[in-house]
């Protein structure tokens, strides 16, 4: 959005001891990056089929940090193959569970 990097759809649980003013746990969160980092990421994700995903969320000195990765999405036939494989494994586990 407008040359900024946002984290969309990530759930961050509200602080239990917080007040009534806790923010929405699913709100979009702006990532703080330097301009050259944003330019580099936007250049890589401009290629067809590449997207930016969060790989890891960790804390360092009371600051939440996100490890980002650039990846290529699966093709439709790969998804169908994985779903069929998962269903077959589930059926086998059910069969031998009895």
pLDDT digits (tens, 9 = 90+) for 63-77: 788 888 888 877 777
State how far the Cα of 35 lies from the Cα of 67, in Å rounded to an integer. 17
pLDDT per residue as tens digits for the range 4-43: 777 787 887 777 776 777 777 777 888 878 888 888 888 7
pLDDT at 78 over 70: yes
**In which band, very low, low, confident or very high, does the pLDDT at 90 lie, cut at 50, 70 and 90?**
very high
Burial annotation 33-54 (CB, 10 A radius, 16+ → b, else e): eeeeeeeebeeeeeeeeeeeee
Q: Are 10 and 29 in contact (CB under 8 A)?
A: yes
Q: Structural domain boundaries of the chain?
A: 5-72
């Amino acid at each position: 959005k407008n040359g900024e990097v946002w984290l969309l759809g990530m759930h961050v649980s509200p602080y239990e001891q917080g007040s009534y003013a806790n923010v929405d746990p699913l709100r979009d969160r702006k990532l703080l990056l330097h301009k050259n980092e944003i330019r580099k990421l936007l250049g890589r994700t401009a290629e067809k089929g590449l997207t930016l995903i969060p790989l890891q969320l960790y804390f360092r000195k009371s600051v939440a940090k996100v490890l980002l990765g650039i990846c290529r999405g699966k093709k439709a036939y790969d998804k169908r193959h994985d779903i069929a494989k998962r269903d077959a494994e589930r059926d086998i586990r059910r069969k031998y569970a009895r």
